[in-house]
Amino acid sequence: MSNFVRGLKCRLCGKAYPKQPLNYCEDDFGPLEVDYDYAAIREAVNRGKIELRPFNMWRYRELLPIDGEPTVGQLVGGTPLVKAHRLAEAIGVKNLWIKNDAVNFPTLSFKDRVVSVALSKACEFGFTTVGCASTGNLANSVAANAAQAGLQTYIFVPHDLETAKIIGTTVYGAKLIAVKGTYDDVNRLCSQVADRYNWGLVNVNLRPFYAEGSKTFGYEIAEQLGWRTPQHVVSPMAGGSLIGKIHKAFHEMHKVGLLDREPKCKIYGAQATGCNPITAGLKAGSDSHRPVRKPNTIAKSLAIGDPADGYFAIKVMRETGGWGEDVNDKEIADAMLLLAQTEGIFAETAGGVTLAVTQKLLAQGRIPRDEEIVICITGNGLKTQDAIANIVEQPVIIRPNIDDFAAVLDGAREPVLV
Amino acid sequence: MPIKVQIPQAMRQHADGQANVDLTGANVKEVLDSLGVKFPNIVGRIFENGQVRRFVNIYLNDEDIRYLDNLQSATKDGDVLAIIPAVAGG
């Protein structure tokens, strides 16, 4: 495979670096990102060529930063873009789609996209031990994909994660380190681990490569709409990276000739009110996020109080003409049920955040009701069942007797707790 | 007993290759000032116009100084001051 990566460059000062497992600039600590030769990519790709490839994230391989063929997560991506008629009617909009990474393979979240790039790259760099700091979904994905690749794995998470996310990590044989602290404490510790041990930590020293995997979420949306972008995209924000990568994906596709028109998509960011550093910064008119020391929300996958990409996320929302909002735990849970009961999609709490924020932005008139909207669902509700266990309808318990059932139909029997 | 300052890997070329430097000072600002006296090339990488750069985080005994008294946070013998690049996480 041809290699279209020129190296890394600092997102602040532009200083160039050779390809290496390094995530920050030695001059100003700015984050590094992958530098591509877009002119060469433009020569190498076209819609027809991509359409002939299997429908997974690697059909856009020229725009991803690995040197050879992917060795980890070869089947990741290619998730449905669902035209959401019933939900559209329920929330009062004309054209609505759900990009559904709740069914991403293998671990049911969009994190499989970033991990397949990061671990393929880790293998290219020769790492035999990998790891991450995680709020849960990334932990699951690194553990599963590393198991497939035969890599040693150390995963660092806050100690109070949902049981499903803990078991969904340790089952793959990963060494799970539960840290008594917030995600930000875990993240800081992981930076120190990366500094001391020669490991490939996917969202620390492999971050420039890792983050590029998120772009495939955006590529797929545009291709599934018929090689065009929607007018509005609403995305959850934790670290604040995904919304920037969706925006980047759309513009790259135009740059390399996959989209005819320059994208004019407005990008909106969604957070939980109990951890809203980015939307608080945006709404206050600041150019950077407002750190939250102690996040308190049921949307644990979004509970990053000090997201360093907040600065870039705010920039994307402002520059595209989008906006950001945050919603409380009740709004989150209600939206999870609404999505499930109108579209049959059981999203995790972060999905509830994104839908509830969409409703709020519609009510505020920030998003027009008659234009095309895509909502990003990034994780699966089976992992966060505790959040809605007390508000879903309880089963009715009866004897195996037809008259018992008839009584239920007649409304004579109330649901009882199991 | 002095205050131990941890230098991130990519910055060690400006600190004679050292991962840890022992320094003194009554608060974070004073400790970092003495780091600057010892290794002048580091100062401009941490500070810009007198402020800690956007993507630099400083931790005093594992607590982010923004949640303490920032650069005025008091330091004492045996403290550990870590300079760490801000990583987005997630």
Cα→Cα distances B13→A32, B23, B41, B56, Å:
19, 18, 9, 17
- What residues of A are in contact with residue B66 (Cβ under 8 Å)? 291
* A contacts of B41 (beta carbons < 8 Å): none
Burial class (CB in 10 A: 0-12, 13-18, 19+), A198: exposed
CB contact under 8 A, B89 and A22: no
ipTM for the predicted complex: 0.95
Among chain A residues, the shortest Cα distance to B11 is held by A26
Whether residue A106 is preceded by a cis peptide bond, meaning omega within 30 degrees of 0, is yes
pLDDT of residue A411: 84
Nearest CB among B8, B54, B67 relative to A288 is that of B54
* Cα A169 from chain centre: 18
Cβ-defined contact of B87 to A138 (cutoff 8 Å): no
Q: Classify the C-alpha dihedral B58-A300-A85-A76 as positive or negative.
A: positive
Closest alpha carbon to A186 in A133, A150, A222, A135: A133
The C-alpha angle A180, A386, A153, rounded to 5 degrees, equals 45
Q: Which of B18, B30, B90 is nearest to B60 (CA)?
A: B30
Structural domain boundaries of chain A? 81-107+213-387, 393-418
Q: What is the pLDDT of residue A418?
A: 43
The shortest CB-CB distance from B66 to any of A191, A238, A291 is to A291
Could you write out the DSSP letters of every residue in A85-103?
Answer: HHHHHHHT-SEEEEEEGGG
Cα(A165)–Cα(A109) distance, rounded to whole angstroms? 11
Burial A96-109 (b: 16+ CB within 10 A, else e): bbbbbbbebbbbbb
In this prediction, residue A417 has a pLDDT band, given cuts at 50, 70 and 90, of very low
| Fold of domain B3-85 | Ubiquitin-like (UB roll) (3.10.20)
Chain B hits for A190, Cβ within 8 Å: 87
Write out chain B residues lying below 8 Å of A203, CB-based: 87-90
Could A203 and B90 be called an inter-chain contact, meaning their C-beta atoms sit closer than 8 Å? Answer: yes
Q: A275 pairs with which residues across the strands? A: A272
pLDDT of residue A413: 64
Answer for the pair A291, A321: CB distance below 8 angstroms, yes or no. Answer: no
What pLDDT is recorded for position A2?
A: 56
- Domain spans of chain B? 3-85
Residue A329, number of CB atoms within 10 A of its CB? 19
What b/e sequence results for A64-94 when a residue is b if at least 16 CB atoms lie within 10 Å of its CB, and e otherwise? Answer: bbbeeebbbbeebbbbbbbebeebbebbebe
How far is it, in rounded angstroms, from Cα A338 to Cα A302?
20
Compare CB distances from B55 to A22, A31, A307 and report the shortest one's residue.
A31
In this prediction, residues A119-147 reach a mean pLDDT of: 97
pLDDT, tens only, A256-291: 999 999 999 999 999 999 999 999 999 999 999 999
Identify which of A194, A77, A68 has the alpha carbon closest to the alpha carbon of residue A129.
A194
User: How many residues does the structure list for chain A?
Assistant: 418
pLDDT at B90 over 80: no
Q: What burial class does residue A407 get, using C-beta atoms within 10 Å of its C-beta: 0-12 exposed, 13-18 middle, 19+ buried?
A: middle
Nearest to B53 among A26, A28, A203 (CB): A28
Given this model, what pLDDT does residue A166 score?
A: 95
Which pair of tokens denotes residue B43?
């100062």
The two most distant CA atoms of chain A are separated, in Å, by 77
Angle at CA of residue A401, ends A399 and A402, nearest 5°: 135
B86: closest CA of chain A, how far (Å): 6
- Asked if A29's CB is within 8 angstroms of B90's CB, the reply is no
Instruction: Centre a 10 Å sphere on the Cβ of residue A51 and count the other Cβ atoms it contains.
Output: 11
pLDDT of res. A3: 82
Nearest-neighbour CA in chain B from A159: distance (Å):
16
> Looking at residue A395, what DSSP letter applies?
P
Mean pLDDT across the stretch A133-151? 97
User: What is d(CA A370, CA A257) in angstroms, rounded to the nearest whole number?
Assistant: 29
Confidence of residue B10 (pLDDT cuts 50, 70, 90): confident
Of A133, A187, A293, the CB nearest to B67: A293
Q: Give the rounded percent of residues in chain A with a pLDDT score beyond 90.
A: 96
CATH code assigned to A81-107+213-387: 3.40.50.1100
Cβ contact B64–A306 (<8 Å): yes
pLDDT grade for A311, boundaries at 50, 70 and 90 = very high
Contact A277, A290 (CB under 8 A): yes
CA distance B53 to chain A (A): 7
Chain B interface includes A207 (CB < 8 A): yes
Asked if pLDDT for residue A1 goes beyond 60, the answer is no
Quote the crossing angle between the two packed helices A215-224 and A242-255, to the nearest 10°.
60
Q: What is the DSSP string of A267-287?
A: EEEEEETTB-HHHHHHHTT-S
> What Cα–Cα distance (Å) separates residue A368 from each residue in A230, A238, A355?
13, 25, 15
pLDDT at A21: 97
Query: Region A88-114: what's the mean pLDDT?
Result: 98
pLDDT value, residue A416 = 54
Q: Which 3 state secondary structure label does DSSP give A173?
A: coil
Tell me what the mean pLDDT of segment A236-252 comes to: 97
d(CA B13, CA A287): 32
Min Cα distance B39 → chain A (Å) is: 14
- In the sheet with B80-85, reading across from the earlier edge strand, the strands are B20-23, B3-6, B80-85, B56-60, B63-64
pLDDT over threshold 60, residue B21: yes
Closest C-alpha among A243, A244, A240, A247 to residue A264: A247
